Chain A
Amino acid sequence: MTKIMLRGNESIAYAFKLARVQVIPAYPITPSTLVPEKISEFIANGEMKAEFVPVESEHSAISAAIGASAKGVRVGTATASQGLALMHEVLFIASGMRLPIVMGIGNRALSAPINIWCDHQDMMAQRDAGWLQFYGENNQEGLDLGIMAFKIAEDNRVMLPAMVGLDAFVLTHTVEPVEMPEQSEVDEFVGEFKPNYVTLDPDKPATLGSFGFPEHYMEFKFGQWVAMERAKKVIDEVFKEFEEKFGRKYRKVNPEFVEDADIVLVTMGSMSGTAREFVKRMRGKGKKVGLLKITTFRPFPKEELIEALKGVKVVAVMERNISFGFGGAVYAELGATFANLKEKPKIVDFIVGLGGRDITFNTYQAVLDLAEKALKEDVDEVNWIDVNKEAVYKAEGLQ
């Protein structure tokens, strides 16, 4: 195993190369453009044997991915933001057809206003598309989750497509050290893709993705539900096998300093790193604060969250997405996770870092201050941090 300096986008490209992805249909979009660029380079240099399909849009990219996957080969692609939004209707076809496509996402805000920087709105808007969703904290996680995504997605108990999100620029364009596994080790780990479904074959004609009448449609959807539930166990198995083979530990949820914590910050993606530094500082000051990073958002790791947050008084959910008219997606799901339990923490939502607004120690301090207040009294359920509220109130005619 060697350590090399990689940008997050290159982590995804290397994951595809090491997993011996056979077809990559892709359309470039900031900030994930380097993924198809790097893969084209690998193919041109003879380092990777794969078919790169330069398509005319993201809609076509995911459609071509479906066609290739239906042929029974390993398929990967990458996109971000508006590109992922353009794929929307097709994403449901990939999951409905149970095709284990893996897609790297450079998590970026959605327009308007046009913004190329980081938040999780793009992937959150695809929450219900039936894809597995993983969020990486750093470029090592991008590579590792990228490799593991194929093994999870292609497991016969799962057969669902998967997205691996890396934060726009904060990871996609940041160079940092990444442990690169040997090709032989990855070959052994991921194995060759052998489809267990009827594939497109001119010699054995079959119809794929056909009509589903009311008599049958719901059974297909229930099948996806069952697969997503089963994926929980498969993810654990794959994470464990990866740890045994490569020595790096992955969990659907990653609690740190939570054992005696009164307040736990829940994070996803790159913000978790700065949060860890902040929590360490607070621990140094004797504050009982912990951190819980969510790596797997779909399937939502209810059981692990209930277990990890047992006895915690206030859960401060920090998220880079917003569902207007309710709150953040993680807050909503975490609330629902605890809804029927007698013992539950107070859950407070914090909307942070939309459109690339920097998440700094001041952000965490503001969150912690409100969470500490919530220990003693009621606070707002949904709190926007680092926002010039006065300017907005004025513009909206509220002042």
Chain B
Amino acid sequence: MYEVRFHGRGGQGAVTAANILAIAAMKQGFYSQAFPYFGVERRGAPVQAFTRIDDKRIDLRMNVYNPDAIVVLDPTLMAVVDVTKGLKEGGIIIINTSKKPEDFDFPGFKVATVNATEIALNHKLGSQAAPIVNTAILGAYSRAVGNVKIDYILEAIRENAPAKKEENALAAKDAYEKTVLGW
């Protein structure tokens, strides 16, 4: 069982990212499950979403307490939320940032970075004030974690992105190539 926690802000598409990852995993032959942190969502407020991936049917229904990987859609969240809470030792942290992995100090964890905001804007996803980074970050996830292949991520994005399907897929592919691994 592989568990992922997404950190984003309301409106950024963290829940959609978790769902698309689950769909891509299913396409690849895994069992999967995705759910939001069951909150009352407000635009801009910190939100969490989760994906579970396994090679057998997933019966587990409780929240994810010890994820294997963390995806941070908005780096400013790291000042207000303990994003590594419960992260397994040696777990992976994927951050949307213009910085490099060595700029972060997360002892015991692996850090991967990608400038998903810039990539999203290059592909005209969202606005300057509110870029839609959730598809780009999935490309980075595929590169950093590797259990769900980029081709399945792209297929899931093309089928499920609410708009600009091809642009979203290209952003993910772009991010996959530009992700910097800190290990």
Contact = CB atoms under 8 A, between A and B. Distances in A.
Contact of B32 (A168, A177, A277): A177
The residue in B33, B40, B59, B60 that gathers the most chain A C-beta atoms within 10 A of its C-beta is B59
Interface in A104-129: 116-118
B61 interface: yes
B90 to A, nearest CB: 22
B60 A176 contact: no
B40 A5 contact: no
A359 B62 contact: yes
A337 interface: no
Interface string B89-104: 0000000000000000
Point out which of A271, A277, A359, A361 has the most chain B C-beta atoms below 10 A from its C-beta: A277
A173 B58 CA distance: 16
Interface in B1-45: 18-19, 22-23, 26, 31-36, 38, 40
Interface in B44-80: 58-63, 65
Majority-rule SS of B interface residues:
mixed
B60 A273 contact: yes
B60 A170 contact: no
A176 B62 contact: no
Contacts of B34: 174-176
B35 A175 contact: yes
B13 to A, nearest CB: 14
B38 A173 contact: yes
A169 B40 CA distance: 11
A274 B34 CA distance: 16
A276 interface: yes
Nearest to A359: B62
A170 B36 contact: no
Contacts of B38: 116-118, 168-170, 173, 356
A170 B59 CA distance: 12
B26 A5 contact: yes
A336 to B, nearest CB: 29
B62 A274 contact: yes
Given A117-B38, A175-B34, A356-B38, A273 B19 contact: no
B35 A273 contact: no
A175 B19 CA distance: 6
A359 B32 contact: no
A277 B26 contact: no
A176 B26 CA distance: 9
Contact of A276 (B19, B40, B59, B62): B59
A204 interface: no
Contacts of A270: 61
A365 interface: no
B36 A173 contact: yes
A342 interface: no
Contacts of A285: none
Nearest to A361: B62
Nearest to B65: A360
A368 to B, nearest CB: 16
Contact of B35 (A173, A274, A276, A361): A173
A10 to B, nearest CB: 11
A5 B19 contact: yes
A389 interface: no
Contacts of A173: 35-36, 38
A5 B61 contact: no
A360 B65 CA distance: 10
Contacts of A376: none
Contacts of A176: 22, 31-34, 58
A3 interface: yes
Nearest to B62: A360
A358 interface: yes
Given A271-B61, A359-B62, A116 B19 contact: no
Given A277-B59, A358-B62, A359-B62, A174 B33 contact: yes
B61 A274 contact: yes
A116 B40 contact: yes
A271 B62 CA distance: 8
Contacts of A276: 59
A233 to B, nearest CB: 30
Interface string B117-145: 00000000000000000000000000000
Interface of A: 3, 5, 116-118, 138, 168-170, 173-177, 270-271, 273-274, 276-277, 356, 358-361
Given A5-B22, A277-B59, 20 more contacts: A5-B32, A116-B38, A116-B40, A169-B38, A170-B61, A173-B35, A173-B38, A174-B35, A175-B19, A175-B34, A175-B35, A176-B31, A176-B58, A177-B32, A273-B59, A273-B60, A273-B61, A274-B61, A277-B60, A359-B61
Interface of B: 18-19, 22-23, 26, 31-36, 38, 40, 58-63, 65
CB-based closest 9 A-B pairs: A273-B59, A169-B38, A174-B35, A175-B34, A360-B62, A176-B33, A270-B61, A273-B61, A274-B61
22 contacts: A116-B40, A117-B38, A168-B38, A170-B38, A173-B36, A174-B34, A175-B18, A175-B22, A175-B32, A175-B34, A175-B35, A176-B22, A176-B34, A177-B26, A177-B31, A273-B60, A273-B61, A276-B59, A277-B60, A358-B62, A359-B61, A360-B65
